[in-house]
């Protein structure tokens, strides 16, 4: 165990969530010291346990997503299972849930009931469309939030249908807003003397909040941002280019001084000194010309040479990393972004490091995602259940 006091030590968090948004929100809290008690259904638990690549029947993703959490089982359809969860929440600082709106209310675990029993509770509610509005009862996964929030519309190339990113980015963004909201609510309670409250995060709104200048540009100019491939519209040059050896290099030279350095590195001093290209507006007006020149320059050189020349010229650039690149990169290693852990059979494997890096109270991995119900007896005992009562709960299917 870590000897350093973590910033969220002393916080008790109950997670009633599955898959991505809710569990990623609580994962952040668990990494920084909160006691996170994950409530799972006894008949299989979180489906994430079986998602993607499995090692001896368990998802490798699960080991990361549930690290530092305690797993308890509770049958929410059983009155004694619900009572167990209610008692957990009464003692909790934060509850994180990502059921469809209304589900917890039907179970007798809605906000109005819970705040009476625990007035200081911060309840983070992650859902497709939020707890209010005409769409609130509709199912909504991250893919829907990404589409409705505007991200999918602008992702891809103009001559092709919209594409998605290769990860569940909508769920993960919502999880981050949930964690931020929970900490703001705690700050209000602890510093301003406020009571607990609901943090209502809709997946589509979480994505929509990241859409930069989309709203004012449409409202003022009627401008609708479209798909533009790898370039950043209105910001030039910022693009991905292919080298002679078939690798891909991202170059961001949209700063005025950086653009000059890039042009000098490309032996195009005429463009570096062209007053028409001295600012972004002038460069963006000649975007196709500039990108064509950079394409040709990169295409005449191998990746290593391109990156070396750009580094010498202090032009922001990078190869487009795969997992192979990450595992070999000294920056990832130096910043401990590839931790070594052990699977249940003792096999060592790498897991992602902790973000962000806190200088005095860093987060850490204390244990990997646990077996289903591994902490049920421990948590029940802490709530005052006797061994006989625990045995009875197991026997009647409540846990």
Tell me the two tokens of residue 229.
């491939």
| CA–CA distance, 254 with 316 (Å, rounded to integer) | 10
| Strand ranges inside the chain, DSSP E | 12-16, 35-40, 54-55, 58-59, 69-73, 94-97, 122-127, 197-202, 238-242, 248-252, 317-319, 338-342, 348-352
Q: At what angle do helices 387-395 and 79-90 cross, to 10 degrees?
A: 130
Asked if residues 105 and 16 have their Cβ atoms less than 8 Å apart, the reply is: no
The question of whether 279 is a catalytic residue gets the answer no
* Cross-strand partners of 199: 124
| CA–CA distance, 238 with 230 (Å, rounded to integer) | 8
Supply the DSSP string of 134-184, one letter for each residue: TTTTS---HHHHHHHTTTGGGSS-TTS-----SS-HHHHHHHHHHHHHHHH
Asked if residues 248 and 256 have their Cβ atoms less than 8 Å apart, the reply is: no
Classify the C-alpha dihedral 247-252-253-257 as positive or negative: negative
Tell me which of 171, 219, 256, 295 is the catalytic residue. Answer: 171
CB atoms within 10 A of CB 318: 14
Measured CA distances, 388 to 71, 79, 384 (Å)? 21, 18, 11
Supply the DSSP string of 214-274, one letter for each residue: HHHHHHHH-------TTSBTTBSSEEEEE-TTS-EEEEE--SHHHHHHHHHHTT-HHHHT-
Which residues are identified as catalytic? 171
């Amino acid at each position: 165990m870590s000897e350093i006091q973590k910033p969220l030590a002393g916080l008790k968090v109950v997670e009633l969530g599955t898959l991505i948004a809710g569990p990623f929100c609580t994962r952040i809290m668990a990494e920084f010291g909160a006691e996170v008690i994950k409530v799972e259904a006894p008949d299989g638990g979180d489906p994430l346990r079986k998602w993607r690549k499995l090692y001896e029947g368990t998802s490798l993703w699960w080991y990361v997503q549930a690290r530092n959490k305690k797993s308890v089982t509770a049958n929410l359809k059983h009155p004694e299972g619900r009572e167990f969860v209610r008692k957990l929440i009464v003692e909790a600082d934060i509850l994180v849930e990502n059921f469809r709106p209304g589900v917890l209310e039907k179970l007798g675990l809605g906000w109005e009931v819970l705040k009476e029993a625990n007035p200081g509770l911060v309840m983070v509610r992650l859902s497709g469309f939020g707890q209010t509005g005409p769409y609130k009862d509709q199912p909504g996964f991250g893919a829907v939030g990404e589409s409705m929030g505007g991200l999918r519309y602008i992702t891809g190339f103009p001559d092709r249908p919209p594409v998605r990113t290769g990860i569940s980015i909508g769920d993960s963004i919502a999880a981050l807003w949930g964690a931020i909201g929970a900490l703001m609510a705690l700050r209000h309670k602890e510093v301003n003397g406020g009571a607990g409250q609901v943090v209502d995060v809709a997946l589509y709104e979480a994505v929509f909040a990241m859409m930069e200048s989309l709203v004012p540009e449409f409202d003022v100019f009627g401008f609708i941002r479209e798909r533009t491939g790898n370039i950043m519209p209105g910001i030039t040059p910022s693009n991905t280019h292919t080298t002679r050896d078939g690798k891909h290099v991202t170059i961001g030279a949209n700063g005025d001084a950086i653009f000059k350095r890039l042009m000098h590195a490309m032996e195009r001093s005429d463009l570096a000194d062209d007053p028409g290209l001295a600012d972004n507006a002038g460069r963006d007006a000649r975007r196709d010309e500039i990108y064509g020149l950079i394409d040709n320059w990169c295409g005449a050189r191998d990746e290593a040479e391109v990156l070396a020349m750009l580094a010498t010229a202090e032009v922001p650039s990078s190869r487009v990393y795969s997992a192979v690149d990450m595992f070999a990169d000294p920056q990832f290693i130096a910043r401990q972004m590839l931790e070594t852990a052990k699977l249940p059979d003792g096999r060592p494997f790498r897991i992602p490091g902790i973000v962000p890096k806190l200088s005095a109270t860093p987060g850490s991995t204390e244990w990997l995602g646990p077996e289903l119900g591994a902490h049920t007896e421990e948590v029940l005992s802490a709530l005052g259940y006797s061994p006989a009562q625990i045995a009875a709960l197991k026997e009647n299917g409540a846990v």
